[in-house]
Amino acid sequence: MNLQQLISWLRSDESFGRNVRLWHTVPAAAARTVDFPEALDPRLRSALVERGIPSLYTHQARAIEQAEAGRDTVVVTPTASGKTLCYNLPVLQRCLGDPEARALYLFPTKALSQDQMNELHGLIEAMEADIKTYTFDGDTPAAARRTIRSSGHVVVTNPDMLHQGILPHHTAWVKLFENLRYVVIDELHHYRGVFGSHVANVIRRLQRICAFYGSNPTFICCSATIANPEEHAARLLGRPAKLVDDNGAPRGTRHLVFYNPPVVNAELGIRRSVIKEAVRIARPFLETGVQVILFGRSRVRVELLLTYLRQQMVKLKRPADRVRAYRGGYLPNERRAIEKGLRDGKVLAVASTNALELGIDIGQLDVCIMAGYAGTVASTWQQAGRAGRRRSESMAILVASSAPIDQYVIEHPEFFLESTPEQAIIDPDNLAILLNHLKCAAFEIPFAHDERFGDNNATGEMLQYLADNRVLSRSGDKWHWMADTYPAEDVSLRSAVVENVVIVDTTRQRQVIGETDLLSAQLLLHDDAIYLHQGRQYHVDQLDWERKEAYVREVKVEYYTDAQSKGEIHALDEFEREPERLGARAHGEIGLITKATMFKKIKLGTHENLGAGRIHLPELEHHTTSYWWQLPPELEDRMRAEDLSLGDGLKGLANLVAQVAPLFLMADPADVRSVPMIKSPMTGGPTLFVYDTYPGGVGFSRKLFDLHPIVLEAAHERLHSCACEHGCPSCVGSVLEAGDRAKSSTARLLALARADEDHDHRQLMIAGS
Amino acid sequence: MKSLRERLAQFDRPPRRTAVAGVVRGNEPLRALLDRGARWVGSAPDGYLRMEADVDGLAPPHQVVGARACRRLAAVEPLGDHWVVLDTETTGLESGTGTFVFLIGLLHWSPEGARRVQLFLPEPAGEESLLSALVEELADADLIVTYNGRSFDVPRLRTRLRLQRLDADVLERPHLDLVHPARRILRTWLAGVRQVDLEYHLLGLDRDDDLPGSHAPEVYRTLLADGLDAGLGEVVDHNARDVDRLARLATWFARCVGDDPPEGLPGSARMAVARLLAHRGESDEARVHVCRLVEDSDRAVALAARRMLAHLLRRQRRFAEAAREWETIVAAAPLDVDAHVEWAKLCEHRLGDLERARDVVQRALRAAIDRRRLDPSAPARRADLLHRLQRIERRRGRGGGIDGVGAH
């Protein structure tokens, strides 16, 4: 059976169909093309024709037109739409016409850069042109570096290398900066949150250095679909960009299916496990031999997917190693091998975290199965976009987990189809981030006394602060770097924390098999954890926290472990305050302490609880921004008088807010947390805190503070559209979690906040059903 | 509501201050330099200070060092007789645009004598005039002499010139960096090859009361941040000694590769000199050095010298002499399989003495076996020795049956 037949069969199969909540077919689309521009260099024209590109898609033509007119551009089209030509063409055209011209390409990771360069290399070879492209990153050998600096026409790098290896040494790159005509930034949507805030500052420094050398390059950016591409690009670049999004590329018929695993325990409302269900669904596709990608929401889930998939392969009598897992934490050459295997068909199925969401070139696959909602509309479309070739049919299946947001989305598919993708949020003026990059910028070029760095008026004061700390020295009318340190070394673009825990396999010889950040390490690599890596189980013998090393040993056991942590909040500062109908809301800075507490042992297959253990690791502390809603203390008595509980109401509200926040922000559920306090030491009364999990905050809580009334509205909508009686995981939380008066108490809270006259009427309706 | 400053302080870690040696003097921070004869060129903030002095006791470089030594030490060819010794003090060791040069020491060394010029930057605003002055000072330089200047001083200066948009071509002169020959020659003898170590061990000169170079950045920072003198005079003195003594070290190294080598050099260092000369293609010169070592009291050195001599002779096509050297070596070191092989190769390919070649290879086989008995980790060498033997036999016209070697 081929894929098309299989899809038709599934459509009519009752046992599959009864769990399907949505079958959305996007019809095939023909290409919309435009002739090459008149002025296109004939060598480039014939090279393109030779490679099977006789004309341009509409969006490519538009993007190229903008770029050549010197306007910063952001292109928003899906994968497999030929977006790389949108930047390769203007760059090549310019280099052909001017041998001194230079371009800089930025990719988020090294892996991406290697793959995206294929098209560029192919064209250059076809033209036999003397245009040299070089990758400049941490692995570039010293001998090659000098050649790249002086004679590379196109320099390909990543933001980390630009930040540490190029900008602070710009005098060695004079030829590049003096002649820089284009800066290409791919995967723009990836630069959000903390990372994006850092990268925006790296770009500020880049622009500053270009100005020093007298060049003013045009930026060409490519982004996946987000709600605010223009705004996002403008914030990253520090100046407006023109949007190009009319996708003219052809595509085959695409099927998007929403699937809710059947209930197996009606009383408790438990459904079949999303992981196992996803694997069951994958099986007929595996049998057919089409390439399948499965997405899991966490590293642990991905390893479980792999374990179960391999079991399936064994049953199908196929080699188990044709199924691979892919995630961060694997060493680079492992990841390269998997990418290649996908491209050349040796790898039949891959289980991945969102690490593969990026434009890494694995070709297009046939089927995508998402084990659990990716958390945002944008990510879901990106993941689904992995399936779908230009002219053949493809399928993407979202399998819901029992998580409340999954259940909501799966049962309300219209919400998904109708909603706009989320916004990408960054805050380039986050003080901690800004200060670090100000130091780097001062190291690079002395600051003039009236120069501004960033979109704020604080530059002068910050420079003075640094001078007082003997980091800078004022001389004449400039601020010069004075310290003997190298600021870029101390700044990691991905977090405020520089350290990682290294994972050492001691089974045979000591060997480093990966690394992970501190918070993940506490949850995945605590003593006695079972750590999963490429489908293999490892027992963590010891996590040496002092030395940041975890010693693991390969084992074969029948269970896996799942850890939990708790957090504490203390307030530091308040920036803004707004009175509300009920209480007041505010936004400011808090101190956060997280502690990994305990872990459970869970049996593979049946997922029963085999036992638990405690985790003995130190607290992690950091500061971040938060918004909070402070309620009047007399509310507690008032609600008790109505036979309701403020405590339960707050808990329910916290759960609701956590669920609806991702509707507005392009945040992973882990980026924002909401915590209720019946009596906060800071405010002295009942308070709900909603904070950025990233140190220093990158704008999420700030945005939610601004959107407060809308957030409450969405919470209200969620609560009242839920059919449960007293509370369930899809709205306020289960009765065990939030209390048995959670639903009614939360409803009352929201009603008071919204001055809702209809509330009492609805209360009666609920009571009666 | 916290002030901006308070908020910054919450998450920022100010840099650690390194301790400063020396007394912190008050009011007129540049007094120590003015007392040493410094005078302003231009004025604060964008001027700089200049100190000049004649240096006695240094003969002209073409006499005591010379172009030949430059070639031998570093494969460098001076353009003429006006050499400039260069040493800088910077605000840190990092490369990159944030480190800058606040003191440049130059020694103009020519037939007219030796004259030291030091350029000091009282504050960063004066950098452009300081660097312009540097460009002038180097304008007529036929050779730049430094210690680790290729990796450190020159790249830093190049960066500073570019940042000030000045032409850095003046740095592209022939450059004798003594750190490389120092490492080659002295590596097996001295534990450290910092310039002060060389001054002590080679010239017998100490640096009493000298401020360690690592303190200089903090002294300078104290001047800029606090307006105080925490040892500026000492920094300038240290820099002056650096350039003066580097000239003397250049003289010493030139003697090493010349006709009158300094005394007291151990055999390993002298061997290193010979190797350096051979590396530079100066086989005759190398041979002279090596011949002096073949009778050295240290047996290891003597043998190493003799091996090198044999190689040199062969390179000079004096095959019979080379073969005799190998013979001597083999007599002194019967387990040296390589020596046997070298000897056999000469006999076979150059001297046409197949009988001798065969004998030597057979001895080599026995040597290899004996060697392994003493040291089981030594390579077996059987295969390639047998191969050699077979080829010799073939050439001697006998096929099959290898004579004299049973199964071992």
**pLDDT one-digit tens code per residue, B224-281:** 988 888 899 999 999 999 999 999 999 999 999 998 888 888 888 999 999 999 999 9
Phi, psi (degrees; rounded to nearest 5) at A155: -105, 125
What per-residue confidence (pLDDT) applies to A359? 52
A238-252, A325-339, A601-615: segment of lowest average pLDDT: A325-339
| For range B170-177, the mean pLDDT | 95
A155-169, A354-368, B7-21, B326-340: segment of lowest average pLDDT: B7-21
A26-30, A187-191, A726-730, A763-767: segment of lowest average pLDDT: A763-767
Determine the 3-state secondary structure of A453 from DSSP.
Answer: coil
Determine the 3-state secondary structure of A562 from DSSP.
Answer: strand
Q: Identify which of A172, A480, A484 has the shortest CB distance to residue B92.
A: A484
pLDDT surpassing 50 at residue A162: yes
**Cβ neighbours of B99 in A, within 8 Å:** 481, 484
How close does chain B come to A624, measured CA to CA in Å?
A: 11
Indicate the average pLDDT of chain A: 85
A361, A116 in Cβ contact below 8 A?
yes
pLDDT surpassing 50 at residue A140: yes
Reading the block at residue A74, the tokens are: 């952001």
Asked if B95's CB is within 8 angstroms of A484's CB, the reply is no
| For range B60-69, the mean pLDDT | 94
Task: Considering only residues A391 and A128, tell me which one the structure prediction assigns the higher pLDDT.
Answer: A128
B1 touches chain A (CB under 8 A): yes
Q: Which of the residues B4, B48, B97, B156 would you substitute to probe the A interface, choosing the one with the greatest number of A C-beta atoms within 10 Å?
A: B97
- With 0-12 / 13-18 / 19 or more C-beta atoms within 10 angstroms meaning exposed / middle / buried, residue A578 is exposed
A361-375, A644-658, A665-679, B90-104: segment of lowest average pLDDT: A665-679
Residue in chain B lying closest to A621 (CA):
B11
What per-residue confidence (pLDDT) applies to B20? 56
CA A302, CA A430: separation in Å to the nearest integer?
34
What per-residue confidence (pLDDT) applies to A46? 93
B210 touches chain A (CB under 8 A): no
Strands A394-399 and A549-555, bridge-based pairing: unpaired
pLDDT surpassing 60 at residue A603: yes
Q: Which pLDDT tens digit goes with each residue over A103-132?
A: 999 998 766 666 678 778 889 999 999 999
Reading the block at residue B95, the tokens are: 């490369």
- Which residues are within 8 A (CB) of B99 and not within 5 positions of it... i.e. 6 or more apart? A481, A484, B90, B91, B92, B93, B156, B159
What per-residue confidence (pLDDT) applies to A497? 46
| For range B49-71, the mean pLDDT | 95
Q: Which pLDDT tens digit goes with each residue over B347-406?
A: 999 998 999 999 999 999 999 888 888 888 778 788 889 999 999 989 888 644 444 444
Task: Considering only residues A90 and A379, tell me which one the structure prediction assigns the higher pLDDT.
Answer: A90
Q: Which pLDDT tens digit goes with each residue over A6-61?
A: 888 888 899 899 999 999 998 988 889 999 999 999 999 999 999 888 999 999 99
Output DSSP code: residue B261: P
How close does chain B come to A219, measured CA to CA in Å?
A: 25
| For range A569-584, the mean pLDDT | 85
pTM of the model as a whole: 0.75
Task: Considering only residues B119 and A709, tell me which one the structure prediction assigns the higher pLDDT.
Answer: B119
Q: Which of B233, B197, B188, B189 is nearest to B215 (CA)?
A: B233
**Cβ neighbours of B150 in A, within 8 Å:** none
Asked if B96's CB is within 8 angstroms of A480's CB, the reply is no
**Cβ neighbours of B1 in A, within 8 Å:** 573-575
Where do the DSSP E strands lie in A428-526?
447-448, 472-475, 478-481, 500-505, 511-517
Q: What is the rounded end-to-end Cα distance, in angstroms, of chain A?
A: 49
Q: Identify which of A168, A458, A482 has the shortest CB distance to residue B96.
A: A168
Confidence class of residue B78 from pLDDT cuts 50, 70 and 90? very high
Confidence class of residue B190 from pLDDT cuts 50, 70 and 90? confident
Q: Which of the residues B10, B20, B48, B89 would you substitute to probe the A interface, choosing the one with the greatest number of A C-beta atoms within 10 Å?
A: B10
pLDDT surpassing 50 at residue A202: yes
B276, B257 in Cβ contact below 8 A?
yes
pLDDT surpassing 70 at residue A451: yes
Q: Which pLDDT tens digit goes with each residue over A469-485?
A: 889 999 988 999 988 88
Confidence class of residue A729 from pLDDT cuts 50, 70 and 90? low
pLDDT surpassing 70 at residue A598: yes
Q: Which pLDDT tens digit goes with each residue over B271-326?
A: 999 999 999 999 999 999 999 999 888 888 899 999 999 999 999 999 999 999 99
What per-residue confidence (pLDDT) applies to B401? 40
B54-63, B91-100, B133-142: segment of lowest average pLDDT: B91-100
**Cβ neighbours of B124 in A, within 8 Å:** 446, 473, 475-476, 478, 480
Task: Considering only residues B6 and A57, tell me which one the structure prediction assigns the higher pLDDT.
Answer: A57
Tokens 């400063």 locate to: B20
Q: Identify which of A435, A444, A486 has the shortest CB distance to residue B8.
A: A435
DSSP string, A9-45: HHHH-HHHHTTEEEEEEEPPB---EEPPPTTS-HHHH
How close does chain A come to B19, measured CA to CA in Å?
A: 13
Confidence class of residue B26 from pLDDT cuts 50, 70 and 90? low
B181, B76 in Cβ contact below 8 A?
no
What per-residue confidence (pLDDT) applies to B403? 45
Residue in chain B lying closest to A574 (CA):
B1
Q: Which of A685, A697, A704, A675 is nearest to A565 (CA)?
A: A675
CB pairs under 8 A between A and B: 112
Q: Which of A172, A436, A469, A483 is nearest to B99 (CA)?
A: A483
Q: Which of A529, A434, A35, A542 is nearest to A201 (CA)?
A: A434
**Cβ neighbours of A572 in B, within 8 Å:** 10
CA B194, CA A410: separation in Å to the nearest integer?
71
Asked if A484's CB is within 8 angstroms of B217's CB, the reply is yes
What per-residue confidence (pLDDT) applies to A737? 64
Tokens 């050779």 locate to: B143
Task: Considering only residues B108 and A619, tell me which one the structure prediction assigns the higher pLDDT.
Answer: B108
What per-residue confidence (pLDDT) applies to A764? 47
What per-residue confidence (pLDDT) applies to A491? 81
